[in-house]
Structure 1
């Protein structure tokens, strides 16, 4: 004792600091720090130990201040500070410390796993490759922990082939190595490779752990491979891993993805402990199965058992209510979210706007928007999409402009939502404005934005601009997708440019892209409206022979229209009679329209009578039949049809024209 103060040796101070670091006792560490300062004992050695202690306790400002005050930092100090930054997700700071370390201190096998992880989280393959080079030069390339970190980094950066190269060169793999490869293959879409790696692991005698099971089950779910999923379940039971909560959750999710809700529920009901993830997974399973009632019942049971739904749970249920147009249930969930004070969560706000939009309550969509505490990109995107969905195109455009004025940056989802509004409005000046914005903001590198812009220019009548955008798609896309090709073909079809539509269609086939139902609809429509009957029939036969899975009822409607316009009405009627689908108003409407053009009363009557059965309240069908009779001078029949309309109580809706001038629209 000296003057009432306890004087400790440097060794005792060091021992206490090590203890406080291990127990993360930040307050005791601060008290001891004060004691050291007031005692005048703050040496470089203790300063280094204090920096390490604060870093282990997660107190970044004190740890970094003490670290920077050191005249010569030790390897331990560097490693602990780098670890601290990585632990707190300050990856760039971790890299900066590592760079400052070079030339002053030699990194070791403890340093590199953390620095490599930082590079992985920054998604910097360039930095990761540089670190890999330093690892090899420093003779740490055979260290298992370093190798595992490299595997994770390459997988995280999407460089699967480099991860495989590191893995194949490992002489001493552990379960972490195998798990990293399995989960990496899954995240990068290499499902079969993930299963093959799992098989190699099991048959190679490596003991799987919880992480193995949790990594491989999502692969089985994605592939809907129920047989292998059950084998993994059996293996987990044999190894005593199936009782772990995360394994149970993964099993529930796997069975759900394999469309076996009964087996998912079997696992769920036998879980001793269920967390919010367990409940949410099961609820999402019922939602994907289209069973909203069971999903809502499970949510009530969840709360009864004392588990509070999180934002993801509520957002999923709200979205399901929207898809089912169950407004009342959606409003109940909205009320619950307000009472639990989670209604300001962005995921819930966007789900509510989407739900009210699908239920045709755009007024409530705007109410949610006005109540949003902070209007973020997701909220704006949802309200813009809601306006488009409810045919409020000009309102959608105004909201987009307002979003930009409030300095909220749109993302690709925002643009995918608003670009259809530009297409419907079909204003060339606005189309050029949005094109300039997309170019300046870098969104033209997105194939989705380019596809939408092609549609916008097509609707504005500028097919030349649409084709220029198509030709300028960045070369980094190895193959223009079917949606992009279909958008351009549709543009030519809208403007009855059959030859160019056919040219693009043939070019698409030569490029190896497989057409879908939309592609065939567009090209058949183009042939129909330009009189290319034989070519249209050739494409139809090609579709039936080589792309039968793409055949839809509307393709037969297009061919009926094609034949009808060419006055081949008997063939059109025979095709309707032979359609493998249930015929609808579109088929008979196309035939009736053709009969009007060619004044064929016999088949016109057949088509009209069928339409009177299918849609008795559509006055247009009656008018078309009257037009056929009138063109042939059969005025008595015209009078009979008119009396039929009167007896049913139908009234023809008046026409409507819109004129736009000086930015305003008049009816």
Structure 2
């Protein structure tokens, strides 16, 4: 009876309550111990789970003999938390106690090694499995996707005798994150052609791919698929469609979708504000922002203010832009990032206040380690396009370099500005200059930088929010 109550507690209580109930049991057995381990795994606390596991092995008052149910959840949690060391410890005990032949254990090991970026180890486990199911194959595809080996991921995908929606989604998401939107569209067509029925994740991936590559025709086709095949436009699909139509130069259509949504959250509002501010009429973006502030339960975040400050810069609203920046930091406690500073710098410079723009960027209160944030900076420079931004950006970057020639990040800023503008000869010369001056050059080639510029922008932050919304709801 006590064991049943302990197991039921997983559905209603957090780990500490489950542990409290466990301690109240006079003679806990393997089932009870496994239940607490499962609790730690469900709440993504693998280190506590492993610690509890070893504590139970040493406790003479507990009858605990590890079995095939002791490890799968814990090993999978190690994969989600990227705790490779703990995962290997669990693998060692799987071997020690002879439970490695369990399909559930083997699947968790494939998932764990793949999640930790050890696709070779995942393949070793996968290759040694006598029986494989859909989870085994999907985990292997996902493992290769996580290390960016899309070629092998696709080959494993092609070898599958049958696929489910997770199979398609894993590979489509891999191609989307890998900057190959055309492959996402191709996979989606294959899935539909084979009679597959996508879910929200499938649609978000393909709609995002259409937006990134400005494929309006294909985006409309997917929109039609949603209307025909799915019960309705959900919140996350509606948000993705708003982003796609905006990127494709149709914020008017995005506005119709936004207006027809019965439920709206911050991510949805951000998509529409950015759609107007960056891709359409920035005045509409600011008006929509004012409307959002009147919605009592919505608090603007850093993504909201990228759109707001971009709109202010595009309209040349110096006073309003400065007020928005002040409210962002002092009223809503949003910490400025490079996107906000870049918008403000453009706002200053386009009003003839280049020195103020230089001073603003020079005194940014953020980590500007370009070797880590180069792709983010390139994406933001590529998305927040202002009138004369290339010449202006070059002017600002050169002024920063002249003022502080030893600051490596300013050199990389100029390099990325050239890349965003497609001035690859200037970018190449800049890299050579940096090498001559002993300045560390970011670890990417010009080809890789070109791919960054073509694939990344402020919408990536929005995309992450959309996926986060789906995973949490």
Structures share a fold, TM > 0.5? yes
Cα distance, 1:284 vs. partner? 3.4
Give 1:180-191 correspondences, 5 Å limit: none
Is 1:507 aligned with 2:291? yes
* Cα separation, partners in 2 of 1:570 and 1:211, compared to 1, 3 Å: farther
In structure 2, how many angstroms separate the alpha carbons of the residues matched to 1:450 and 1:399?
21
Structure whose alpha-carbon radius of gyration is higher: 1
Partner of 1:606: 402
Partner of 2:8: 215
Partner of 1:8: none
In structure 1, how many angstroms separate the alpha carbons of the residues matched to 2:278 and 2:3?
56
Aligned-partner SS, 2:79 = helix
Instruction: Give unpaired runs (5+ residues) of structure 1.
Output: 1-207, 628-639, 659-667
Deviations 1:391-422 (A, max 9, x none): 22112211211211111111222112222111
Aligned-partner SS, 1:334 = helix
* Cα separation, partners in 2 of 1:610 and 1:439, compared to 1, 3 Å: farther
Is 1:467 aligned with 2:251? no
Deviations 1:187-223 (A, max 9, x none): xxxxxxxxxxxxxxxxxxxxx833333333565437x
Give 1:359-370 correspondences, 5 Å limit: 359-370=147-158
* Cα separation, partners in 2 of 1:351 and 1:443, compared to 1, 3 Å: farther
Aligned residues: 420
In structure 2, how many angstroms separate the alpha carbons of the residues matched to 1:600 and 1:395?
38
In structure 2, how many angstroms separate the alpha carbons of the residues matched to 1:429 and 1:566?
39
Cα distance, 1:580 vs. partner? 2.9
Question: Which is worse superposed, 273-282 or 407-416?
Answer: 273-282
Cα distance, 1:565 vs. partner? 3.0
Is 1:517 aligned with 2:298? no
In structure 1, how many angstroms separate the alpha carbons of the residues matched to 2:341 and 2:256?
32
In structure 1, how many angstroms separate the alpha carbons of the residues matched to 2:45 and 2:435?
55
In structure 2, how many angstroms separate the alpha carbons of the residues matched to 1:525 and 1:233?
51
* Cα separation, partners in 2 of 1:366 and 1:545, compared to 1, 3 Å: same
Partner of 1:203: none
Cα distance, 1:364 vs. partner? 0.4
Partner of 2:61: none
Cα distance, 1:577 vs. partner? 4.5
Deviations 1:346-392 (A, max 9, x none): 22222222221232211101111111011322222222222212222
Retained in 2: the 8 A contact 1:396–1:421? Answer: yes
* Cα separation, partners in 2 of 1:558 and 1:470, compared to 1, 3 Å: same
Aligned-partner SS, 1:521 = helix
Cα distance, 1:619 vs. partner? 4.6
Give 1:240-639 correspondences, 5 Å limit: 240=26, 243-255=28-40, 263-269=48-54, 270-271=56-57, 272-308=64-100, 310=102, 313-324=105-116, 326=117, 329-343=118-132, 345-473=133-261, 475=262, 477=263, 480-495=264-279, 497-512=281-296, 513-549=298-334, 551-585=336-370, 586=377, 596=392, 603-606=399-402, 609=405, 612=408, 619=415
* Cα separation, partners in 2 of 1:619 and 1:471, compared to 1, 3 Å: closer
* Cα separation, partners in 2 of 1:620 and 1:434, compared to 1, 3 Å: closer
In structure 2, how many angstroms separate the alpha carbons of the residues matched to 1:655 and 1:618?
15
Retained in 2: the 8 A contact 1:565–1:594? Answer: no
Deviations 1:307-343 (A, max 9, x none): 126555455544454454x3xx322322322321344
In structure 2, how many angstroms separate the alpha carbons of the residues matched to 1:290 and 1:349?
20
In structure 1, how many angstroms separate the alpha carbons of the residues matched to 2:219 and 2:305?
27
Aligned-partner SS, 1:548 = coil
Cα distance, 1:501 vs. partner? 0.9
Deviations 1:549-579 (A, max 9, x none): 5644543333333323333333334433443
* Cα separation, partners in 2 of 1:501 and 1:425, compared to 1, 3 Å: same
* Cα separation, partners in 2 of 1:365 and 1:646, compared to 1, 3 Å: closer
Retained in 2: the 8 A contact 1:569–1:595? Answer: no
Aligned-partner SS, 1:444 = coil
Retained in 2: the 8 A contact 1:595–1:603? Answer: no
CA RMSD, Structure 1 to Structure 2 (Å):
4.0
Aligned-partner SS, 2:161 = coil
Cα distance, 1:496 vs. partner? 5.2
Calculate the TM-score normalised by the size of structure 2: 0.75
Question: Which is worse superposed, 576-585 or 376-385?
Answer: 576-585
In structure 2, how many angstroms separate the alpha carbons of the residues matched to 1:509 and 1:551?
19
Cα distance, 1:285 vs. partner? 4.0
Deviations 1:157-181 (A, max 9, x none): xxxxxxxxxxxxxxxxxxxxxxxxx
Partner of 1:142: none
In structure 2, how many angstroms separate the alpha carbons of the residues matched to 1:558 and 1:449?
29
In structure 2, how many angstroms separate the alpha carbons of the residues matched to 1:641 and 1:247?
64
Give 1:23-62 correspondences, 5 Å limit: none
Calculate the TM-score normalised by the size of structure 1: 0.55
* Cα separation, partners in 2 of 1:645 and 1:614, compared to 1, 3 Å: closer
Aligned-partner SS, 2:249 = coil
Cα distance, 1:542 vs. partner? 1.4
| Correspondent of 1:236 among 15, 22, 27 | 22
Aligned-partner SS, 1:609 = coil
